[in-house]
């Protein structure tokens, strides 16, 4: 083989290496972790900052890489055709096509991209300066081609919903590929995203389950009620339970009694309460949990009274309720198991109609829908479109429901069986 042919072969090999570089650079810079690059950039890593700047203009980055990659592939194929023709005459075109196709696919595409995908973060940091040089050199041609492409193809817009769905998908993949701790992390991260979709109505303690204090109670009754309750804060009403006049903190009550000591008359509960109750904080039932969490932080509150559009009491929501939506149940020494839920020997469950669907799903790892009803009794009414009688049975969402008790038009007790993955 003559010296000229050897020189052409050497150039072709260099062009194949350049093609491998472009292919691997495209894969590494698009697959590298955004979070990892942000963390390294925050610690002062210059190459990580360079990777972030390159990816800020993804169209320019990809355009320059594709221009470079296609250019070296075309030149390498042309030179290879010339070499093969000089050796095999007219048959050289066929041999050049077969050879370059195999070589480019294997050595300039598959192998470099596989390596870059498996070491995307480290490789992206290594090649970032060289890619930056390529982008600067090819930017005029890249910009011109981008303008031409944009004039021919209408550019789509990525809205926040698409970004959120992408993030949810990444979280699900993280949980699916990991162990129990990873799945727990997945559940917490998904719950954080749900804060902008769930209203306080869906997690509040309904008024039927709220322990309220009558402002007209005498001191002995007042103490008996708060000591029998596992909670430290209680709404205080005057006359009508909808007329909430304040919130009583048990610690404030005990301090007030300690200050007054034996001078406090046994029946002087009203006067004592008026001095120590705090002003109630009212929120509409449609408030999203994210907004309510921010409001709690801003106001330094832990407790809010939930009202409907007419101002009527619907229930209460606390900071702990919102945190439990993220991290799961937070039990302390005064908490009790989910009230109104009792396991039966045959594997079924006796459930109070006022138990919320979200609490039931969390306790039993079910997935009953809570978009149209907040309690299990409400779900029965919504799905059956009737007010059922005791003894009636229904099957919804892979769960078998039997009505046990009804008080007027209110379903008060049910028995549930799981018939699948509900």
Residue 1 has pLDDT above 70, yes or no: no
Expressed as residue numbers, the domain containing 175 is 161-194
Distances in Å between the Cα of 275 and the Cα atoms of 248, 255, 271 are 10, 12, 7
Q: Does some domain include residue 216? A: yes
- Is residue 317 a part of any domain in this protein? yes
**Are residues 230 and 141 part of one domain?**
no
- Between 374 and 199, residue with greater pLDDT: 199
**Last residue in a domain, options 278, 299, 327:** 327
Neighbours of 422 (CB within 10 A): 17
Q: Name residues whose C-beta falls within 8 Å of residue 383's C-beta, 6 or more positions apart in sequence.
A: 394, 396
pLDDT digits (tens, 9 = 90+) for 112-156: 999 999 999 999 999 999 999 999 998 888 888 878 877 777 665
Whether residues 86 and 104 fall in one domain? yes
In 161-320, DSSP assigns E strands to: 205-206, 213-214, 233-237, 244-249, 282-284, 303-307, 313-318
Give the total number of structural domains in the chain.
Answer: 4
224 lies in the same domain as 323: yes
33 with 89, same domain: the answer is yes
Q: Is 305 left (phi over 0), alpha (psi -120 to 50) or beta?
A: beta
385 and 363 fall within a common domain: yes
Q: Is residue 221 part of a domain?
A: yes
Q: What is the pLDDT of residue 6?
A: 83
Higher-confidence residue of 178 and 201: namely 201
Both tokens of residue 37?
């690059």
CATH of the domain at 408: 3.30.465.10
Query: Does the pLDDT of residue 111 top 50, yes or no?
Result: yes
Joined tokens for residue 299:
């106001």
Q: What are residue 109's phi and psi, to 5 degrees? A: -125, -70
Q: What is the pLDDT of residue 262?
A: 45
* 334, part of any domain: no
Which residue, 327, 362, 397, sits at the end of a domain?
A: 327
**Cα separations (Å) of 31 from 6, 166, 170?**
38, 14, 13
Using pLDDT thresholds of 50, 70 and 90, give the confidence band for residue 25.
very high
DSSP class of residue 212 equals: -
What one-character-per-residue DSSP string does 187-216 give?
A: HHHHHHHHTTT-BHHHHSEEGGG---EETT
User: 134 with 58, same domain?
Assistant: yes
CA distance from start to end of the chain: 74
Shared domain check, 106 and 150 = yes
Q: Is residue 335 part of a domain?
A: no
- CA–CA separation, 147 and 155 (whole Å): 11
* More reliable by pLDDT, 30 or 178: 30
What kind and span of H or E run contains 401? strand 399-407
Q: Is the dihedral of CA 244, 206, 226, 289 positive or negative?
A: negative
Query: Would 40 be classed as within a structural domain?
Result: yes
CA distance 391 to 413: 11
**pLDDT greater at residue 160 or residue 40:** 40
On whether both 29 and 98 belong to a single domain, the answer is yes
Residue 306 β-bridge partners: 283, 315
| Cα atoms found within 13 Å of the Cα of residue 131, Cβ hemisphere only | 35
Question: 332: how many CB neighbours lie within 10 A of its CB?
Answer: 7
d(CA 131, CA 22): 8
- How far is residue 350's CA from residue 270's CA, in Å, rounded to a whole number? 40
Q: What is the CATH number of the domain that holds 274?
A: 3.10.580.10
- In terms of domains, do 150 and 8 share one? yes
The sign of the dihedral angle between the CA atoms of 322, 338, 375, 302 is negative
In a domain, 333, yes or no: no
Q: Are residues 178 and 258 in the same domain?
A: no
Q: Which of 272, 296, 327 corresponds to the end of one domain?
A: 327
Q: Quick one: how far is CA 193 from the chain centroid? A: 3
Q: Is residue 336 part of a domain?
A: no
Note the pLDDT tens digit of each residue in 259-313. Answer: 766 455 444 455 567 778 889 999 999 999 999 999 999 999 999 999 998 888 9
Q: Residues 368-408: pLDDT tens digits?
A: 888 888 889 999 999 999 999 999 999 988 899 999 999 88
Q: Is residue 59 within 8 Å of residue 145, measured between CB atoms? A: no
Residue 278 is encoded by which pair of tokens? Answer: 């705090």
Tell whether the model's pLDDT for residue 332 goes beyond 60: no
Give the number of C-alpha atoms closer than 13 A to the C-alpha of residue 349, restricted to the C-beta side. 22
Confidence (pLDDT) at 142: 85
Residues 27 and 145 in one domain: yes
Burial of 188 (0-12, 13-18, 19+ CB in 10 A): middle
Whose tokens are 């109104």? That residue is: 340
Domain check: are 267 and 396 in the same one?
no
């Amino acid at each position: 083989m003559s010296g000229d042919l050897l020189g052409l072969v050497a150039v072709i090999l260099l062009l194949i290496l350049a093609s491998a570089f472009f292919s691997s650079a495209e894969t590494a810079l698009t697959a590298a972790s955004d979070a990892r690059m942000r963390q390294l950039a925050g610690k002062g890593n210059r190459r990580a900052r360079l990777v972030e700047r390159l990816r800020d203009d993804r169209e320019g980055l990809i355009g320059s890489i594709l221009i470079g990659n296609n250019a070296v592939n075309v030149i390498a194929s042309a030179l290879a055709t010339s070499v093969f023709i000089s050796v095999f005459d007219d048959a050289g075109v066929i041999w050049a096509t077969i050879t370059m196709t195999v070589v480019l696919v294997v050595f300039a595409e598959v192998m470099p991209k596989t390596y870059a995908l498996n070491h995307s973060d480290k490789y992206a940091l290594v090649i970032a300066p060289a890619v930056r040089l390529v982008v600067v050199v090819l930017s005029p041609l890249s910009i011109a081609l981008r303008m031409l492409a944009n004039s021919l193809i209408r550019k789509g817009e990525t809205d926040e919903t698409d970004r959120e769905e992408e993030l949810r998908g990444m979280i699900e993949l993280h949980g699916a590929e990991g162990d129990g701790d990873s799945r727990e992390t997945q559940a917490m991260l998904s719950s954080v995203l749900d804060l902008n979709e769930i209203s306080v109505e869906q997690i509040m303690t309904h008024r039927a389950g709220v322990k309220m204090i009558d402002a007209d109670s005498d001191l002995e009754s007042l103490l008996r009620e708060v000591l029998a309750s596992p909670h430290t804060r209680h709404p205080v009403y005057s006359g009508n339970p909808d007329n909430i006049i304040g919130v009583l903190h048990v610690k404030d009550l005990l301090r007030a009694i300690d200050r007054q000591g034996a001078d406090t008359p046994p029946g002087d509960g009203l006067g004592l309460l008026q001095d120590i109750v705090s002003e109630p904080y009212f929120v509409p039932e449609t408030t999203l949990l994210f907004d309510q969490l921010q409001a709690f932080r801003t106001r330094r509150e832990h407790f809010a009274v939930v009202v409907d559009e007419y101002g009527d009491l619907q229930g209460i929501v606390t900071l702990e309720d919102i945190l439990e939506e993220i991290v799961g149940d937070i039990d302390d020494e005064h908490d009790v198991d989910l009230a109104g839920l009792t396991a039966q020997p045959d594997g079924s469950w006796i459930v109070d109609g006022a138990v919320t669907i979200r609490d039931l799903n969390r306790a039993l790892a079910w997935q009953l829908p809570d978009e149209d009803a907040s309690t299990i009794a409400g779900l029965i009414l919504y799905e059956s479109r009737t007010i059922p009688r005791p003894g009636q049975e229904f099957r919804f969402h892979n769960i078998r429901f039997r009505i046990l008790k009804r008080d007027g038009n209110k379903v008060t007790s049910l028995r549930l069986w799981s018939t699948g993955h509900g």
